[in-house]
């Protein structure tokens, strides 16, 4: 059990609610499963910091050999602070500013995934300004449908991400001819919550043809970065990564490039739960509501993506199960943590655990409705845990504001 009831009870008594609780052991188990299944390919696992950028979580992964995939100057700052080796950091994202590109170059990261011709020109300018040669990888858009939610589909033509193969050819020629650019890799990222290795296989086959053409044109790459996106079964464990390793393995070996993966959700989702407290129960026509002190500003995935998180009571009350919507105090009808959940009627004050909340939970949280953000806790041993981010206060809400 990732969240033993006795320990969670002690945590919430100390920290209050809502609170994110993460299991260090579970994160390491997930990384271990990846390492084991991909052993013959020896990839670099660059943790997608956006999934959960808490410094303690990041440090745990850095200490255990992972690299980082960052998508902003802020994430790069966090990754360096957490102790990731710069030579294991890659920088992705469709809109990096000149300052962010220069920051990445000064930091000596492994490479930068560029997503447009104009970004490549900006990178060249930044590298020239620093008298450096920028290691570049081009994010291709292989036009593969990963059959996932439209907001997390990124590898289809028509999305803002990556460039088509034809355009990618132009980017590589430009990089090859530049004194300040060195083409080192090829990248794709197809989307998130992908539950089959097929989309990866399709994208990889197209990428392999393209890489061979590049070789004929004198562009010899070192890295193949197949992104993240490996899914988590609705509300629970990561999908076993073995099937992914077996599917991509032969093509990767044949190409002979160093493999990079950018897992985010699959490493941390199941390792986190959001603990909330029952404030009130109420009825609205046929519907039963449990109103909790956790809301969409704490966990936006249900409202944003229609994500379904299992909800379990910390203490199971007697009585038959009733269907509830679990909603928060935010003034939006879309503010719910779960809908149509079966639970024995909880008492006021009862703790509910919203499971599989370790990824895109706190990192997507906000202060909407002027709600201070939740605390975060890392369980570090059987009976040990630490607050790894303090609950925000009302003062934090206005800390950056200037009175006029």
Name which of 194 and 379 has its Cβ closer to ligand PLP: 194
| Residue 363 beta carbon to ligand PLP: minimum distance, rounded to whole angstroms | 10
What length is written for the chain?
404
According to DSSP, residue 346 is labeled P
| Residue 29 beta carbon to ligand PLP: minimum distance, rounded to whole angstroms | 17
Q: Which residues in 52-71 contact ligand PLP (CB under 6 A)?
A: 69
| Residue 268 beta carbon to ligand PLP: minimum distance, rounded to whole angstroms | 8
| Residue 231 beta carbon to ligand PLP: minimum distance, rounded to whole angstroms | 7
Q: Are 127 and 133 in contact (CB under 8 A)?
A: yes
What are the angstrom distances between the C-alpha of 335 and each of 4, 237, 273, 303?
Answer: 28, 25, 18, 6
Q: Count residues contacting ligand PLP (CB under 6 A)?
A: 16
Q: Which of 362, 397, 404, 328 is nearest to 58 (CA)?
A: 362
Q: Which residues in 274-303 contact ligand PLP (CB under 6 A)?
A: none
What are the angstrom distances between the C-alpha of 355 and each of 90, 151, 232, 361, 365?
Answer: 30, 22, 12, 11, 16
Q: Which of 17, 92, 141, 292 binds ligand PLP (CB under 6 A)?
A: 92
Q: Which of 12, 21, 51, 255 binds ligand PLP (CB under 6 A)?
A: 51
Q: Are 230 and 238 in contact (CB under 8 A)?
A: yes
Q: Which residues in 361-400 contact ligand PLP (CB under 6 A)?
A: none
Q: How many angstroms separate the CA atoms of 404 and 398, rounded?
A: 14
Query: Helix, strand or coil for residue 247?
Result: helix
Q: Chain centroid to CA 274: how far?
A: 17
Q: Are 179 and 130 in contact (CB under 8 A)?
A: no
Q: Which residues in 218-277 contact ligand PLP (CB under 6 A)?
A: 227-230, 262-266
Q: Which of 234, 232, 378, 357 is nearest to 298 (CA)?
A: 357
Q: How many angstroms separate the CA atoms of 351 and 360, rounded?
A: 22
Name which of 8 and 239 has its Cβ closer to ligand PLP: 239
| Residue 243 beta carbon to ligand PLP: minimum distance, rounded to whole angstroms | 16
Q: Which residues in 173-202 contact ligand PLP (CB under 6 A)?
A: 189, 192
Name which of 49 and 352 has its Cβ closer to ligand PLP: 49
Name which of 115 and 335 has its Cβ closer to ligand PLP: 115
Query: Helix, strand or coil for residue 194?
Result: strand
| Residue 345 beta carbon to ligand PLP: minimum distance, rounded to whole angstroms | 36
Q: Which residues in 69-88 contact ligand PLP (CB under 6 A)?
A: 69
Name which of 7 and 48 has its Cβ closer to ligand PLP: 48
Residue nearest to ligand PLP (CB): 264
Name which of 102 and 269 has its Cβ closer to ligand PLP: 269
Looking at 136-241, list the stretches that DSSP marks H as alpha helix, in order from N- to C-terminal side: 165-177, 198-216
Name which of 228 and 313 has its Cβ closer to ligand PLP: 228
DSSP 2-56: -S-HHHHHHHHHHH-SSEEEEEHHHHHHHHHHHHHHTTTT--EEEEEGGG---HH
Name which of 139 and 180 has its Cβ closer to ligand PLP: 139
Place of tokens 């660059």: 46
Q: Which of 220, 215, 367 is nearest to 296 (CA)?
A: 367
Active site residue 331: yes
Q: Which stretch binds ligand PLP (CB under 6 A): 17-25, 44-52, 209-217, 247-255?
A: 44-52
43: contact with ligand PLP by CB under 6 A: no
Q: Which of 8, 19, 31, 48 binds ligand PLP (CB under 6 A)?
A: 48
Q: Are 348 and 280 in contact (CB under 8 A)?
A: yes
**Which candidate in 177, 285, 319, 331 is catalytic?**
331
Site residues (CB under 6 A) for ligand PLP? 48, 50-51, 69, 92, 189, 192, 227-230, 262-266
Q: Active-site residues: which are they? A: 331
């Amino acid at each position: 059990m990732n969240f033993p009831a006795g320990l969670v009870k002690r945590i919430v008594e100390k920290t209050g609610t809502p609170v994110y609780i993460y299991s260090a052991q579970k994160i390491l188990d997930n990384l271990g499963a990846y390492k084991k299944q991909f052993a013959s390919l020896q990839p670099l696992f660059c943790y997608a910091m956006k999934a959960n950028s808490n410094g303690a979580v990041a440090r745990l992964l850095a200490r255990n050999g992972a690299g980082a995939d960052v998508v902003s100057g802020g994430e790069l700052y966090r990754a360096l602070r957490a102790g990731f080796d710069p030579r294991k950091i890659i920088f992705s994202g469709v809109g990096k500013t000149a300052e962010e590109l220069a920051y990445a170059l000064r930091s000596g990261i492994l490479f930068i995934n560029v997503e447009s011709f104009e970004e490549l020109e900006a990178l060249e300018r930044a590298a020239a300004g620093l008298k450096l040669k920028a290691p570049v990888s081009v994010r291709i858009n292989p036009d593969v449908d990963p059959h996932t939610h439209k907001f997390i589909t990124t590898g289809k033509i028509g999305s803002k991400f990556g460039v088509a193969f034809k355009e990618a050819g132009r980017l590589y020629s430009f990089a090859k001819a530049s004194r300040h650019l060195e083409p080192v890799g090829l990248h794709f990222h197809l989307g998130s919550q992908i539950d089959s290795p097929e989309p990866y296989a399709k994208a990889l086959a197209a990428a392999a043809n393209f890489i061979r053409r590049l070789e004929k044109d004198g562009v010899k790459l070192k890295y193949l970065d197949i992104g993240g996106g490996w899914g988590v079964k609705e509300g629970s464990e990561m999908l076993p990564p073995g099937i992914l390793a077996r599917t991509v393995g032969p093509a990767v070996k044949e190409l002979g490039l160093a493999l990079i993966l950018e897992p985010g959700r699959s490493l941390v989702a199941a390792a986190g739960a959001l603990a909330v407290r029952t404030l009130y129960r109420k009825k609205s026509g046929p519907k039963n509501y449990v109103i909790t002190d956790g809301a969409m500003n704490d966990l936006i995935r249900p409202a944003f993506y229609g994500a379904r998180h299992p909800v379990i009571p910390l203490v199971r009350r007697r009585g038959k199960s009733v269907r509830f919507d679990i909603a928060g105090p935010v003034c939006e009808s879309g503010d719910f943590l779960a809908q149509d959940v079966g639970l024995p009627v909880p008492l006021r004050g009862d703790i509910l655990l919203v499971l599989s909340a370790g990824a895109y939970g706190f990192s997507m949280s906000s202060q909407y409705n002027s709600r201070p953000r939740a605390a975060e806790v890392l369980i570090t041993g059987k009976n040990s845990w630490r607050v790894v981010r303090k609950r925000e206060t009302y003062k934090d809400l206005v800390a950056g504001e200037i009175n006029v």
